[in-house]
Copies of this chain bind each other. A is one copy, B any other.
Amino acid sequence: MNRLLVRDLAQLVTPAGTGAPLRGRELGEVELVSDAFVLCEEGRIAAAGPMQGLPSGLGELDELDGRGLVAIPGLVDCHTHACFAGDRVDEFSLRAAGASYEELHAAGSGILSTVRATRAAGEQALTDAVRRHRAWMLRAGPTTFEAKSGYGLDKDTELAQLRAVRAAGGIPTWLGAHAVPPEHPDADAYLDFALAEVLPEAARLAEAADVFLERGAFDAARARRYLTAAAGSGLALRLHGDQFTEHGAIPLAVELGARSVDHLEATGPAGVATLAASDVTGVLLPACALFLDRPMPPARALVEAGAAIALATDFNPGSSFTESLPLVCSLAATQLHLSPEQALGAATVNAAHVLGRADRKGRIAPGYDADLTLLDAPDWRYLAYHFGHDHVVAVVLAGERAKLG
C-alpha cells in the first residue's frame, strides 16, 4: 500500500467543512493543530491530528519531516485562463506608461491578440504551456486548478485548449463566449456557430461553461442563450459578471442555477443582496483588480450579507498575470478586508465547491484527497501576511511528494 506520513508539523490548519459553501461566520472558522501529523494512504488522507494521537504499529511507510513547517490544504484555484500562447507584456508596458485605450488598440492588444497567438500555437505547444503554468502553480500553492478555453473561439482551438487543460491535470471550462472573433459578423452569428459546431464536443471535454457578460462582450440575453444551451448539454454554469459594469449577471446566475458568478468589482448593494440570498458563489479576483488598477469587489459586504465567496487568481496574460493564490490571499486581507481564516476558506473549501469537488478537495480531513502544501513559516497566517515571498517548501499531491520545478 502506498503510504506517506507527514510528521511533526509545527502547525496543521484546515477550514471548516459543512457540506456546503462556507458563509458568514462559518467562513472564518478553521481548525488549528500544533505538533501534528497527516497520514496519507492510496492518495487519500487516512488520518490527521496531533502527534500524540498518531496510531502505533503503522508498519512500513514513507515519511516527510514536517518540523518547522506548516501544512495547509493544497489551495484550489477555481478561475484561471492558464491555457494561452504568447504574452501581453507590450500592452502591459504601454498601459503602465499611460497609453490610452485607442493607443493600446492600435498596438493590437486585448483578448483577440491572445486569440491570434493561441490559434497559431498548435495543441502540443498549448499542452506544454499549461504544464509549465501548472508547475508554477504547484510552487505557488495551488494543487487543484481550473482553466478555461476562450482564446481559441474556433472549433479546433477551443477543443485543443480543453484537451490541453485536461492533459496537464486541470479542470476544463468551456469559455466559448469570451469574445466575438473577427471572422463572425456579430455576437449572434458567433453564438450560432459556437453552439452548433463547438458545444457538442466541448460538452464531452469540459465540466462547465462560462461567459463574459459585459458591455462590449455578451449581453444578458445572449449569455442566457449560451448558458441555457450549455446546461442542456450537461455542463455546469459560470459567468464573468459585473467586472466593469452591472448588466444583469447576478440575476441571470441565480435564475439559471449557476455555480458561480466571477469578478463583481462593479456589484452594488442590490447585487450583493441577490447573491447572498442565492446558492451561487461569488468568485473574487483581487489580483485582476490590482493588475488593472480597478476598484476591488465588495467582499466584506458580501460576507456580511451571507453570500458564499471564493478567491481565485484569474491567471491570464492580459489582466492578471500571476499564479500566486497566496498573493491573492494577501490581497484579500489588505484590499478586501477579509481575515486570513476567511481567505483560506475562500481559496480552499469554497473554491472546491465552485469546481464540484468539495467532497475531495480543500480540507485536511479523512477521506479527502491527500493534497497538502507545506510552508516554511512560523504561523500559517504568513500565507497572507508575508507577501511576495515564496513560502512553499514541499507539496504532497495525491499522497505523494511532488517534484517542484
Contact = CB atoms under 8 A, between A and B. Distances in A.
A314 to B, nearest CB: 12
Interface in A139-162: 139-140
Interface string A300-323: 100000000000000000000111
A381 B90 CA distance: 9
Given A89-B379, A89-B382, A92-B333, A97 B339 contact: yes
Contacts of A389: 136, 140, 322-324
Interface string A376-402: 001101101111111000000000000
A300 B293 CA distance: 15
By secondary structure, the A interface counts as helix
Given A87-B379, A321-B387, A387-B327, A96 B291 contact: no
Contact of A381 (B89, B293, B381): B89
Q: Which of A92, A322, A333, A341 has the most CB of B within 10 A?
A: A92
A290 interface: yes
A258 B342 CA distance: 44
A333 B91 CA distance: 12
A388 B96 contact: no
17 contacts: A28-B97, A92-B381, A93-B340, A96-B332, A96-B337, A96-B338, A140-B388, A292-B334, A293-B334, A293-B335, A293-B337, A321-B386, A322-B387, A322-B389, A323-B388, A324-B387, A390-B390
